[in-house]
């Protein structure tokens, strides 16, 4: 490093402390980047790459951006998962002896963003932390720096449960111990696309102790401590808005694994990865950013306590009964700004005058909101209004202190009202009277010199001056004016009297601006004292917003209040899929009943493709989730149990990142449900086994059905194309066949989308292909082949015996014609205890039997 210039040496020393960041190195009016940073930044930001001499043997790569437009560039980098270290000049260059002193004043990372234009206002921006204690035990913590939220939880179900928990929340960055297993770190980066950061220090500093004092579990304290230490190290400023860490008892909420959230498209669609077409898209009738974030959090954690759910139902009921008041409430809420994030910026020190005016306007709406809630003839709703604190004292402080339309900058004056501070009024009076004196002087000089074009102006270099055109110079009296500047067509002069007044005016203006800035900082500190109350108010307003949104959507879409039962019964009349009915919008969606009493734990659903089997399954899960987040449901009537977990295997998709086939993904997701479900769970399995050969698939499907029926006994919807499985109704007492009705008319299939008891008659596969506009020649040939297959004798001949694949579903005719060599395999099958086998064990056993059969 000795060969480099002192400035480059300074850069390299600072960069060594922030190796995983882009270092924005302040040089005058620019942030400059050098070496590898410059090469990567020029590519990522599409800015010009140059070079400079740094004292070394070769020129140094370099690129830069203007400091005043840095925000958009930083946003671009952070959205791509990078970190940016802001290195500022921390001393006056004029006073510096040698290289100007520079320090990193802030680290901006995906999980620590505070600037408004970098944040999605309707979504939290979580920084998370995890700590591993045993092979299956982890602790996890979340912080949203923009809102102050701070939560933590213990997890005892292994690494996959941790991934599901993180997947279900809008986490942008995760802080881990540097010794966390590489395989886990790879999962965080590749499966969840998270930025991984490291923090080994877990001891909580004295200033942060109050945030963890309510946590009794030392493991949780350490995990939260890791997060807080990372925030202190990177932000280097006040974090007073962080709330005390709240313990999340995960067992008090419905568990939704990452597969279920994805398959059910709760917050985004599988294909487009967007909100439109998801359940969130339908339910989000909130009007505040706080409410939108609250709704998303509720959807991430449906409730298990009936009393808590009924409390939400009661408020929705109250809002539904008062349409006019609810509309008034919605209009008032539209004027309430994001109190949570305003509180964060106040604490962080990057709030400006306009932010505080937004806060004032929001507080001015609270009394009216209280009045509207009181007007509703509903005790639970009225109690919501009574609990609101309008913070009158803070509202008056902001009213008395701030100009109504302050500038964005807090250093240029124009922020504080007249009458708020006597000294400021004095300075302003001196400045304004001085300017009046200047205007009077100009009028007087024009009269005395008879020069109509004479004017008094001002610039930062010369201050105030008298300007006279050259054509009028002869009119000036001698000895009174001192020449200051010569222009092409005019001369500029000063007088002792003018300079004296100039000093008074400029001193008054300068002191006025300095005092205004000081008063604003003091005001910000006073407002900071109200942050806990503002955060409580934000929590209440966001809850009111979500519940009025529930009422609004329930009225628009004819949702009804569900009830809950302790008999584990599902009884839904005229149930609908909440998203598809909105997409169709033409009233053609066909509602269906879903009934599963105490004697029915499993519905085996058959029917052709495109008939609505998957829709029927999904609508039960979505209806359940809607009910357990406190929203009314799309049905004419619904009685439901409280489900503790939902497991889904719907749709086929290869996991290309992990190199896993569709069938392996199918087996893993099915196994996850089988091993974690309880009697209070809901399982949706859509055409399990289709990812392998027909007989393998049927064998696995039957084994899974039987295992779920005998051992898990959760409410299960199982759709299949294997019509042979419908015979299981005869042997499995808690299984019931249902099918989606379709009719054939003049060679075409008509899907009626109606659920009826019993198995489907046929699959109509060729008809579906016809609807997909397959070539006529292909359709005709498929029909011929189907007819040949249906008319083909099923008995096996000795010479073809070795080509057959063993089936678990053997007809009586096949049993009679089966030849001797397979009898030992049949005996072996009879000895298998299928009820005690997992699906994977069944698959392995089937493989061994098939090998034996092929050898005979």
Residue pLDDT, tens place only, 403-455: 999 998 999 899 999 999 999 998 888 888 888 888 999 999 999 999 999 99
- In sequence order, what E strands does 219-281 have? 246-247, 255-256
Confidence of residue 323 (pLDDT cuts 50, 70, 90): very high
Q: What is the rounded CA–CA span in Å between residue 52 and residue 22?
A: 19
Confidence of residue 505 (pLDDT cuts 50, 70, 90): confident
**Residue 386: how many CB atoms within 10 A of its CB?**
9
| Overall average pLDDT of the 705-733 stretch | 93
Tens-digit pLDDT profile for residues 548-592: 999 999 999 999 999 999 999 999 999 999 999 999 877 789 999
Q: For strand 195-198 and strand 171-176, is the pairing parallel, antiparallel, or unpaired?
A: parallel
* pTM: predicted TM-score of the whole model, two decimal places: 0.83
Tens-digit pLDDT profile for residues 357-411: 999 999 999 999 999 999 999 999 999 999 999 999 999 999 999 999 999 899 9
Q: Residues comprising the binding site for ATP?
A: 607-614
Non-local (6+) Cβ contacts of 63 within 8 A are 32, 33, 38, 41, 42, 45, 47, 48, 49, 50
Confidence of residue 799 (pLDDT cuts 50, 70, 90): very low
Non-local (6+) Cβ contacts of 375 within 8 A are 322, 325
What domains can you pick out in the chain, each with its CATH number?
6-108 (3.40.1170.10), 121-252 (3.30.420.110), 284-391+530-557 (1.10.1420.10), 422-522 (1.10.1420.10), 563-761 (3.40.50.300), 798-855 (no CATH)
Question: Count of alpha carbons within 13 Å of 833, Cβ hemisphere only?
Answer: 3
Q: Residues comprising the binding site?
A: 607-614
Vertex 827: Cα angle to 825 and 831 (nearest 5): 115
Question: What pLDDT score does 156 carry?
Answer: 93
Cα dihedral 606→612→617→620 (10° resolution): -130
Whether residue 45 has pLDDT greater than 60: yes
Q: What is the rounded CA–CA span in Å between residue 235 and residue 143?
A: 13
Tens-digit pLDDT profile for residues 229-243: 999 999 988 899 999
Question: What pLDDT score does 746 carry?
Answer: 64
Taking Cα atoms as reference points, which of 162, 157, 107, 168 lies closest to residue 130? 162
Enumerate the β-bridge partners of residue 174: 128, 196
Taking Cα atoms as reference points, which of 441, 709, 346 lies closest to residue 717? 709
């Amino acid at each position: 490093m000795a060969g480099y210039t002192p400035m480059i040496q300074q850069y390299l020393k600072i960069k060594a402390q922030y190796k995983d960041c882009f270092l924005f190195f302040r040089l005058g009016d620019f942030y400059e980047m050098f070496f590898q940073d410059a090469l990567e930044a020029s590519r990522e930001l599409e800015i010009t790459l140059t070079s400079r001499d740094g004292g070394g043997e070769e020129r140094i790569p370099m690129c830069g951006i203007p400091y005043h437009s840095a925000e958009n560039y930083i946003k671009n980098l952070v959205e791509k998962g990078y970190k940016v270290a802001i290195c500022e000049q921390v001393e006056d260059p004029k006073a510096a002896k040698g290289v100007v002193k520079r320090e990193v004043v802030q680290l901006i990372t995906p999980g620590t963003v505070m600037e408004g234009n970098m944040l999605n206002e309707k979504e939290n921006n979580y920084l998370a932390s995890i700590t591993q204690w045993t092979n299956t035990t982890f602790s996890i913590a979340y912080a949203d720096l923009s809102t102050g939220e701070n939560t933590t939880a213990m997890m005892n179900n292994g690494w996959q449960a941790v991934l599901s928990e993180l997947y279900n929340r809008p986490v942008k960055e995760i802080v881990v111990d540097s010794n966390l297993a590489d395989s886990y770190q790879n999962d965080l980066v590749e499966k969840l696309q998270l930025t991984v950061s490291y923090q080994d220090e877990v001891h909580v500093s004295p200033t942060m102790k109050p945030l963890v004092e309510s946590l009794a579990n030392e493991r949780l304290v350490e995990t939260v401590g890791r997060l807080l230490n990372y925030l202190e190290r990177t932000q280097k400023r006040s974090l007073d808005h962080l709330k005390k860490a709240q313990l999340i008892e995960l067992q008090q909420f419905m568990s939704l694994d990452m597969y279920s959230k994805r398959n059910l498209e709760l917050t985004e669609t599988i294909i487009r990865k967007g909100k439109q077409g998801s359940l969130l898209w339908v339910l989000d009738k909130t009007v505040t950013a706080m409410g939108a974030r609250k709704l998303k959090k509720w959807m991430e954690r449906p409730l298990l306590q009936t009393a808590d759910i009924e409390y939400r139902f009661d408020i929705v009921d109250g809002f539904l009964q008062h349409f006019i008041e609810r509309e008034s409430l919605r209009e008032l809420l539209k004027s309430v700004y994001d109190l949570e994030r305003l509180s964060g910026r106040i604490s962080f020190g990057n709030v400006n005058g306009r932010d505080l005016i937004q806060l004032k306007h929001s507080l001015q709406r609270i009394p009216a909101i209280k009045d509207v809630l009181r007007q509703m003839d509903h005790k639970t709703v009225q109690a919501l209004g009574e609990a609101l604190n309008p913070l009158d004292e803070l509202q008056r402080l902001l009213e008395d202190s701030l100009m109504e339309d302050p500038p964005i900058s807090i250093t240029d004056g124009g922020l504080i009202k007249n009458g708020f501070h006597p000294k400021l009024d004095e300075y302003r009076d001196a400045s304004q009277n001085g300017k009046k004196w200047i205007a009077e002087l100009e009028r007087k000089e024009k009269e005395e010199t008879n020069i109509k074009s004479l004017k008094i102006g001002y610039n930062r270099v010369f201050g105030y001056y008298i300007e006279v055109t050259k054509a009028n110079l002869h009119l000036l009296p001698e000895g009174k004016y001192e020449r200051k500047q010569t222009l092409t067509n005019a001369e500029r002069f000063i007088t002792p009297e003018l300079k004296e007044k100039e000093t008074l005016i400029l001193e008054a203006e300068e002191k006025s601006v300095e005092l205004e800035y000081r008063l604003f900082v003091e005001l910000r500190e006073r407002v900071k004292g109200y942050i806990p109350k503002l955060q409580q108010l934000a929590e209440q307003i966001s809850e009111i917003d979500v519940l009025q949104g529930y009422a609004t959507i329930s009225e628009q879409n004819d949702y009804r209040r569900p009830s809950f039962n302790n008999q584990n019964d599902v009884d839904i009349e005229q149930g609908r899929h909440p998203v598809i009915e909105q997409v169709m919008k033409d009233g053609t969606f066909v509602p269906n009943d879903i009934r599963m009493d105490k004697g029915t734990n499993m519905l085996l659903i058959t029917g052709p493709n495109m008939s609505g089997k998957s829709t029927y399954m999904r609508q039960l899960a979505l209806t359940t989730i809607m009910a357990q987040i406190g929203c009314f449901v799309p049905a004419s009537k619904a009685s439901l149990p409280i489900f503790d977990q939902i497991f889904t295997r719907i749709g086929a998709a290869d996991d290309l990142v992990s190199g896993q086939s569709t069938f392996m993904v199918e087996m893993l997701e099915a196994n996850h449900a089988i091993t974690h479900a309880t009697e209070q769970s809901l399982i949706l399995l859509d055409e399990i086994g289709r990812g392998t050969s027909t007989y393998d698939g049927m064998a696995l499907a039957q084994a899974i059905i039987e295992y779920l029926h005998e051992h898990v006994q959760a409410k299960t919807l199982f759709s299949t194309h294997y019509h042979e499985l419908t015979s299981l109704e005869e042997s499995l007492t808690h299984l019931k066949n249902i099918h989606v009705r379709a009719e054939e008319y003049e060679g075409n299939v008509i899907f009626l989308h109606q659920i009826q008891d019993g198995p489907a008659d046929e699959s109509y596969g060729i008809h579906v292909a016809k609807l997909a506009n397959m070539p006529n020649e292909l359709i005709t040939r498929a029909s011929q082949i189907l007819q040949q297959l249906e008319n083909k004798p099923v008995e096996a001949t000795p010479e073809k015996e070795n080509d057959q694949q063993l089936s678990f579903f053997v007809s009586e005719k096949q049993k009679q014609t089966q030849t001797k060599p397979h009898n030992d395999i049949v005996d072996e099958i009879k000895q298998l205890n299928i009820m005690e086998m997992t699906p994977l064990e069944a698959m392995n056993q089937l493989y061994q039997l098939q090998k034996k059969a092929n050898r005979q």
